[in-house]
Structure 1
Amino acid sequence: MEVKGNVILQDAVRFTILTTCLVRIEYSKDGKFEDRNTQMVQNRHFAQPPFEIFENRQGHVLEIRTTGFHLYYDGGVLSSGSLYIDAANSYGTHYSRWYYGEPTKNNLKGTARTLDRADGAIPLPDGLMSKDGFSVLDDSQSFILENGEFSVRQSKETDLYYFSYGRDYRKTLQVYYQLTGFPPMVPRYALGNWWSRFYPYTQSEYLALMKEFDRCQIPIAVSVFDMNWHTTAIPSKYGSGWTGYTWNKEYFPNPEKMFDLLHQQGRKVTLNIHPASGIRPSESCYGAVAKMLDLDAKTEEPATFDLQNKKFKTAYFDLVHHPLEEQGVDFWWIDWQQGGARGQSKVDPLWLLNVAHFRDSEKRHAGEGLILSRYAGPGSHRYPVGFSGDTVASWDSLRFQPYFTATASNIGYTWWSHDIGGHMRGTYDGELSLRWLQLGVFSPILRLHSSNNIFMGKEPWNYGKDIESAMIHLLQLRTRLVPYLDSENYRTHTEGLPLVQPMYYGYPNQKVAYEVPNEYQFGSEMVVSPITTPVDLKSELSSTEVWLPEGQWYDFFTGLVYEGDSYFKAYREQNKFPVFVKAGSILPMLKNYMQPLAQIPEQLELMIFVGTDGIYEMVEHQENNIARTIFKWNDREHQLTVETVDPAKLIPVQRQYSVILIGAEGSIDKQSATTISFRNYQLIDQSKIVTELIKSRLQRAQISFEEKQLIWQMYVSHKETKKLIKFLDTIHENTIRGMIIELVEK
């Protein structure tokens, strides 16, 4: 046995103790091990942890013990008979033991490469998190990845990472990011609304659409052009028209002018590409590419797609993509659908594309890169954002997406972008589209999308007036939330805390936290439980199961207070959504939702959810410059203090704050640059909110007037909740009973 620092070499096996709860396990028949970075792993330089080594004890060749695990190795080839590890925690049935080669149990799953054509749930591979408190990641098949370049491993080996952080899921994820690289910050504008549609727009039609969005006060931050921007009708001898880089001048006669106008409106622009077919003679750039690559232009020799070929890679960027970027393209939507690599020396093209395009974007944008592409496996979180694929427009698809989005954090993939509203098939259903948009507002990225069907457009005015109004409000709300989203964006980058987290991240030892798979934490201040089922015809409300942890929680949309440590069914009107904010929270919001998101705003609105003291650090950024504003709410003194740390001078000198108190009323007594205090302060009577909600719900309920009147009389006459509930138990309509019990039992 040989020991050097935290590395233990025993015959053909090498153990590297990275932390007290993380060990790397390698087996190489020829004794050659890999020390370079891989696709997944980008850092193994950890501070050496304490550990103990035992040799030839009780029949074991080697034992390694830390405070987090006890490893037993009996020599020879790695197998379930020669290697096992006991986690120090004990979440298993009797003990938390892993035998080499066996799958971990009770895994909480990770994410998938695509949801293309999915109509509901799909199987998910394992992730990092397990209720048993340990997990294993296999890096054996990874290529070497250093400085953006891929190469083949020097020797075939088994290369595993064993994690044993128990149910401290946040710590598990943070250490995983330390090992694989923390997610970069996404640009501020990416947190706004994206307009995307697979549709053959003309230049004038597209600009007219953006003008109509502005007229309707619908903020669109990112303009997405699907594949119809380029020529698709090419000679059949060249193959499919899906790959293309030449503007369709019939549709877009002056793309530079169009980009200039979109940029003047404060929007960013991305184009969809399907690179699989390379550069063919049908492209306007073919001549330059053929010359650089020494192709036989006379015989129309194509430039075959191969990003592992350095000359092709240079031509691909310098002669094909960079000229389009000079016209105004801000980033690329990489729509790779052609599968993985073929052969042991061939890297998955999706990995090649994601790494190359993201690094190229970083160079062009002062270190702040962005792509829209597909998930390529563990480590892909370094190249945001993810395009989840062409889903079917159905309630089953919607029902799966909250769980799918939250669970992706279990493998560190935090920036999913879904086709909000669904991409394909389905039927006209305004309710479904509205509920999907509500989910989109409280998702990592909000990108409206639909297929090439004139009836599938997600423009709000395609629906009835009530739904149109609700959709416009939601798109405005998403943009208003950007200061909060950008602050959480920074925390993901620096602390490894995803914007969307399963409930068990914050409450890992509470059984109920695992029983609400569609509910999630949305940043540090919010809990969201999406509605994913159609309206009940009797109550004209939709419902979902909600669990609120201990504490006092406000309904974001109504201001109604709920006591935590409770599990209940939440009923909501069409224009409401179950979003809860804990007392003491301070949410920074944009005042002017139509201003370009790349700008740091002069006016902010602060929502303060009263009831206890609170503190929130807002982070604003432009490229690599950061400004911090710390808000502190003193609930007893009814006073807000503001402290800024702004070395780059990002914050406008004349910044103004307006404050909305949630749960209380009051008028501003004194206001300065650092303090806002209130007078005539009083808590809002929650019973009035309840009464108004019960009255409005009964008004819309599809039951007889006599039944409504009887329920109402019982409510106003019975001040004791138990008596009222006893009466409601006599009602046969469960939804009518449930919608009232939610309010009186909250």
Structure 2
Amino acid sequence: MEKLPEHLHPSFDPVAKDEAVIEGDNYRFTVLTEQLIRLEYSTEGRFEDRPSQTFWYRNQKVPDFEVEKTDKNIIIETEKLILDYQLTGESFNQDNLTIEVKDLEEIWYPSKENNENLKGTIRTLDTIDGWTELDKGLLSRDGWAVIDDTSNLVFNEGTGWLEERAKPQEKQDLYFFGYGHNYVQCIKDFNDVAGRVPLLPRWSLGNWWSRYWSYTQQELKNLVKEFKRREIPLSVCIIDMDWHIVDNPYTDGWTGYTWDQDLFPNPEGFINWLHEQQLKTALNLHPADGVHPHEEKYQEFAQQMGIDPASETPIEFEITDLNFIKNYFDLLHHPLEEDGIDFWWIDWQQGQETKIPGLDPLWALNHLHFYDRSRNNKRPFIFSRWSGLGSHRYPIGFSGDTIISWDSLQFQPYFTATASNVSYSWWSHDIGGHCEGQDEAELYTRWVQFGVLSPIMRLHSTNEKYLDRRPWSKSQAFYSVVKDAMRFRHALIPYLYTMAWKNHIQGEPLVQPMYYHHPEREEAYHFSGQYYFGSQLLVAPHLNPRQESTNLSRKVFWLPEGDWMNFFTGEYYQGDNCYVEYGELKDIPMFAQAGSIVPLGPKLQWGGIDNPKELDIYIFAGADQEFELYEDEGEGLNYQEEKFATTKFIQNWSTDQLQFEISSVTGDKSVVPQNRDYELFFRGVKSPSRVDVTVDGQLQEIDFSYDEEKETVIVYIPRVHPSNQVTVNLFTESSNLLSCRDRKKEKCYQLLKSFKMKTRAKTQIEKRILADETRENIDLLKDFLTVLTDEQLRAIAEVFYGIGTTKVKTDEEEKIIVWNNDKHTDFKYYFSAWNKENPESTSGIIPNFKVFAPQEWSYYNWQLEIDYCGLFDEIYNE
């Protein structure tokens, strides 16, 4: 029997334990977890045990459950679900099957609409400008989601490839996810049953250069040298489609497998040179047109396919043909990999049908290329588009050719975080936007800042002379900010790689929507422009251009309950509140909760991919916490053989003392530097009275410094061996070591400094701000209504009072949020919605938090008016 090579056969475990299965003549229920049940119906009583395209590992630990069966029905009850099936002999429908989600007292039945689904992702953002509708995902505020696996193909054990299922008269194969609002557990369990997210190679987490441009190899060399000369690190250099012969008499040039010798006279030498610069590389693939006579491998490929090469008959792309698949890899891709190509950019855009009904060629390419790359102890890795549920097993994703606009940038944080709802955690966007639109230096800079704090940081643009993603193509002010951001990206790699490990082992995505950890807070569902970035950080990037009169970007964000600090400045924030950040171009709103520990590498001029000899650890005071740093060799498959090391960092907090411990390394110590220098940054503390450092219990003579502006103690500890244990103690003689300096006045000074207005007016306003009576300060600002714009007045009021309003989007739904952190009684709102028959209006003191959803009044005219102490009105109307 013809079959795929063994390395293209994943290791499946698809058959559930007998104890998890409840079966009758035409039904079968499999209790996979206490919140996940497989529901099968077959008129012929034939059920499917082979792995499907999505579900590979049904052999799970059997949860506790009870079964009660009568002549009329069967009831299955777990700790979280109650399934009731009436034994009518009919397929599952709303009259014979219900499942109760106990936590929410929600009853599901087949055909019930999942109206509160939190969405998943889509195949591509090609040609999309801004927001677009996303497909449904695994999470829902309704508490349940159902995946219909009935039509998905299954793997043939003999061939290792896909085939259609047996076709009884009627069948159903459903997976009921009844996780209530336990969103994180849902994603973890999905990974257990569908397959884990693989561990990325470490180098993939650095900065990527990519451009659709017909470079020569010398031009690409010069470009890399310029990045290096300017001390902007890269880890990947993509070679787009013009690497191969484009002009030929047979095709339109998109598909190709033969180097263009005019552009790349020595491709193997060039790839070796890239490797010498510590860069990985990929070639762009558009395989839809098959193989034609102008290709170097045409004659051999044709012979293998039984085609007379002299006939010049094209070899059609046919991913369902096992012989084609074998030669596709052996003849076209493996030789290029032997020349040094590290991975493939699979840029499939040509339809979703093959000769096997239901098989999407993109899915097939992703699956086969991923497993083919595991040959020779290579950690598998591809770069392609989303091809449906289960695509999380084939990282990473290429989100497509976005339009260059602020709307597109504003959509990408929501799009990236929401993809985690189907476990698709490693998106790579065209940072800066791909095409059309209007390219602006500020937009480019903000996009780069988001890219640095997104899963994969890849600069890219289309084949257009005036789209230039080189950081130095912008003026000095923008260039300086972009350079600093890209260097910070490489410093983040130790943290990011640890999060990639957690994603692989525990199923927790790097980028997570706010509702993952705050499912019962309404705020968590509306601030779509912010997200958790790993276990320690919360990011709310600037996504809007600078305002004309403030000369600053405005960002509204919500911080959950607890003590929070700005990662970069150390500024303290009381959680459970909304805030507005007015930022200069260099500012990136990123926050850490009390207790957080963030390990970074140094900001290097180049490299930064390897396990660093120096580590900067940022410790945010105020709570106990641990962080475990993961390190291995970064690329091979040996991480599955336990050849890795972990280092645990522990913060113990009390009001008058902070203790921080660097534990000795566990695991394989050979993968970490034998002497590592640590620089510790303790954020959010008062200047301590004493700092003690011990190494293996021996007191060390080590100096420390205190940054008063950032309220940060800095301690440098050199040459720590992997076996050493280091303990740092910060002491204070005051009642509380934690520093929570009120920076409202400082921030107002910065606002005035940036405002476009007359200098004398700034001086007079500052005097108002310096007064002790803050209420009178705002009242006295009325004297300056002729010189302050509404934007400027609003900024000062928001900074002093923590009251404001903003528009937000989730998917394509626009809403308006108002907030009042300190429940001031002097701020009012007025809302009215009316048509001829049903007018309604509400007004009152601005509540702590409220959402106005205009789509609820889609047949109305509506208006929302906010009164900021009588200074000005903020009006939304339609």
Q: Compare 668-677 and 162-171 and name the one that shifted more.
A: 668-677
- What is the match of residue 663 of structure 1? 684
**Distance in 1 (alpha carbons) for counterparts of 2:124 and 2:285:** 17
- Deviation, structure 1 residue 85: 2.2
Residue 301 of structure 2 aligns with an amino acid whose one-letter code is V
- What is the match of residue 315 of structure 2? 303
Label 1:521 to 1:679 Cα distance change in 2 as closer, same or farther (>3 A). Answer: closer
SS of the aligned residue for 1:73 comes to strand
Q: Compare 596-605 and 730-739 and name the one that shifted more.
A: 730-739
Q: Equivalent of 2:97, from 79, 84, 93?
A: 84
- What is the match of residue 32 of structure 1? 46
- Deviation, structure 1 residue 742: 5.0
Q: Is the 8 A contact 1:528 1:580 kept in 2?
A: yes
Q: Equivalent of 1:7, from 18, 21, 31?
A: 21
Instruction: Check if 1:110 corresponds to 2:120.
Output: yes
SS of the aligned residue for 1:427 comes to coil
SS of the aligned residue for 1:581 comes to strand
Within 5 Å, give how 1:15-414 maps onto structure 2.
Answer: 15-56=29-70, 60-74=72-86, 75-89=88-102, 91=104, 95-145=105-155, 149-155=161-167, 157-235=171-249, 238-342=250-354, 344-345=356-357, 347-364=359-376, 366=377, 368-414=379-425
Label 1:676 to 1:215 Cα distance change in 2 as closer, same or farther (>3 A). Answer: farther
**Distance in 2 (alpha carbons) for counterparts of 1:671 and 1:465:** 45
**Distance in 2 (alpha carbons) for counterparts of 1:326 and 1:351:** 25
The unaligned stretches of length 5 or more in structure 1 are none
- What is the match of residue 699 of structure 1? 753
**Distance in 2 (alpha carbons) for counterparts of 1:381 and 1:676:** 40
Q: Is the 8 A contact 1:78 1:100 kept in 2?
A: no
Q: Equivalent of 2:770, from 698, 716, 722?
A: 716
- Deviation, structure 1 residue 67: 2.3
SS of the aligned residue for 2:429 comes to strand
- What is the match of residue 468 of structure 1? 479
SS of the aligned residue for 1:513 comes to helix
TM-score by length of 2: 0.80
**Distance in 1 (alpha carbons) for counterparts of 2:230 and 2:415:** 33
Within 5 Å, give how 1:585-596 maps onto structure 2.
Answer: 585-596=596-607
SS of the aligned residue for 1:649 comes to helix
**Distance in 2 (alpha carbons) for counterparts of 1:586 and 1:642:** 11
- Deviation, structure 1 residue 30: 2.1
SS of the aligned residue for 1:420 comes to coil
TM-score by length of 1: 0.94
Q: Compare 547-556 and 673-682 and name the one that shifted more.
A: 673-682
Q: Is the 8 A contact 2:657 2:730 kept in 1?
A: no
Q: Compare 430-439 and 605-614 and name the one that shifted more.
A: 605-614
Residue 645 of structure 2 aligns with an amino acid whose one-letter code is A
SS of the aligned residue for 2:152 comes to coil
- Deviation, structure 1 residue 62: 2.7
Q: Is the 8 A contact 1:395 1:432 kept in 2?
A: yes
Q: Which has the higher contact order (CA 8 A, sep 6+)?
A: 1
- What is the match of residue 715 of structure 2? none
**Distance in 2 (alpha carbons) for counterparts of 1:333 and 1:228:** 13
Residue 140 of structure 2 aligns with an amino acid whose one-letter code is S
- Deviation, structure 1 residue 11: 3.0
Q: Deviations over 1:618-640 (max 9, x none)?
A: 11122313211111234454443
Q: Is the 8 A contact 1:232 1:241 kept in 2?
A: yes
- What is the match of residue 612 of structure 1? 623
- What is the match of residue 667 of structure 2? 646
SS of the aligned residue for 1:695 comes to helix
Label 1:145 to 1:690 Cα distance change in 2 as closer, same or farther (>3 A). Answer: farther
**Distance in 1 (alpha carbons) for counterparts of 2:567 and 2:548:** 25
**Distance in 1 (alpha carbons) for counterparts of 2:738 and 2:516:** 33
**Distance in 2 (alpha carbons) for counterparts of 1:247 and 1:47:** 51
Label 1:146 to 1:661 Cα distance change in 2 as closer, same or farther (>3 A). Answer: farther
Label 1:244 to 1:479 Cα distance change in 2 as closer, same or farther (>3 A). Answer: same
**Distance in 1 (alpha carbons) for counterparts of 2:342 and 2:190:** 31
Q: Is the 8 A contact 1:569 1:738 kept in 2?
A: no
Instruction: Check if 1:735 corresponds to 2:753.
Output: no
**Distance in 2 (alpha carbons) for counterparts of 1:211 and 1:5:** 62
**Distance in 1 (alpha carbons) for counterparts of 2:42 and 2:782:** 68
Label 1:79 to 1:736 Cα distance change in 2 as closer, same or farther (>3 A). Answer: same
**Distance in 1 (alpha carbons) for counterparts of 2:781 and 2:523:** 26
**Distance in 2 (alpha carbons) for counterparts of 1:373 and 1:637:** 50
**Distance in 2 (alpha carbons) for counterparts of 1:383 and 1:206:** 28
Q: Compare 458-467 and 634-643 and name the one that shifted more.
A: 634-643
- What is the match of residue 508 of structure 2? 497
Instruction: Check if 1:677 corresponds to 2:728.
Output: yes
Q: Is the 8 A contact 2:621 2:738 kept in 1?
A: no
- Deviation, structure 1 residue 48: 2.1
Label 1:560 to 1:735 Cα distance change in 2 as closer, same or farther (>3 A). Answer: farther
Residue 706 of structure 1 aligns with an amino acid whose one-letter code is R
Q: Compare 636-645 and 569-578 and name the one that shifted more.
A: 636-645
Q: Deviations over 1:351-381 (max 9, x none)?
A: 11111111111224x2521100010101100
- Deviation, structure 1 residue 671: 5.7
- What is the match of residue 826 of structure 2? none
Q: Deviations over 1:394-420 (max 9, x none)?
A: 111111111111000111111111111
**Distance in 2 (alpha carbons) for counterparts of 1:350 and 1:430:** 35
Q: Deviations over 1:261-310 (max 9, x none)?
A: 11011110111000111111111111221222221101112221122212
**Distance in 1 (alpha carbons) for counterparts of 2:339 and 2:571:** 51
Q: Is the 8 A contact 2:94 2:111 kept in 1?
A: no
- Deviation, structure 1 residue 4: 5.4
- Deviation, structure 1 residue 680: 8.4
Instruction: Check if 1:626 corresponds to 2:677.
Output: no
**Distance in 1 (alpha carbons) for counterparts of 2:658 and 2:67:** 58
Q: Is the 8 A contact 2:346 2:384 kept in 1?
A: yes
- What is the match of residue 497 of structure 2? 486
Q: Is the 8 A contact 2:631 2:645 kept in 1?
A: yes
Q: Is the 8 A contact 2:211 2:460 kept in 1?
A: yes
**Distance in 2 (alpha carbons) for counterparts of 1:64 and 1:380:** 31
- Deviation, structure 1 residue 47: 2.0
**Distance in 1 (alpha carbons) for counterparts of 2:314 and 2:673:** 53
SS of the aligned residue for 1:270 comes to strand
Q: Is the 8 A contact 1:619 1:626 kept in 2?
A: yes
Residue 751 of structure 2 aligns with an amino acid whose one-letter code is R
Residue 5 of structure 1 aligns with an amino acid whose one-letter code is E
**Distance in 2 (alpha carbons) for counterparts of 1:69 and 1:726:** 57
- Deviation, structure 1 residue 454: 1.3
Q: Pick the structure with greater CA Rg.
A: 2
- Deviation, structure 1 residue 589: 0.8
**Distance in 1 (alpha carbons) for counterparts of 2:284 and 2:242:** 9
Give me the CA root mean square deviation.
2.3
Residue 543 of structure 1 aligns with an amino acid whose one-letter code is R
Residue 374 of structure 2 aligns with an amino acid whose one-letter code is E
Q: Is the 8 A contact 1:542 1:571 kept in 2?
A: yes
**Distance in 2 (alpha carbons) for counterparts of 1:137 and 1:49:** 21
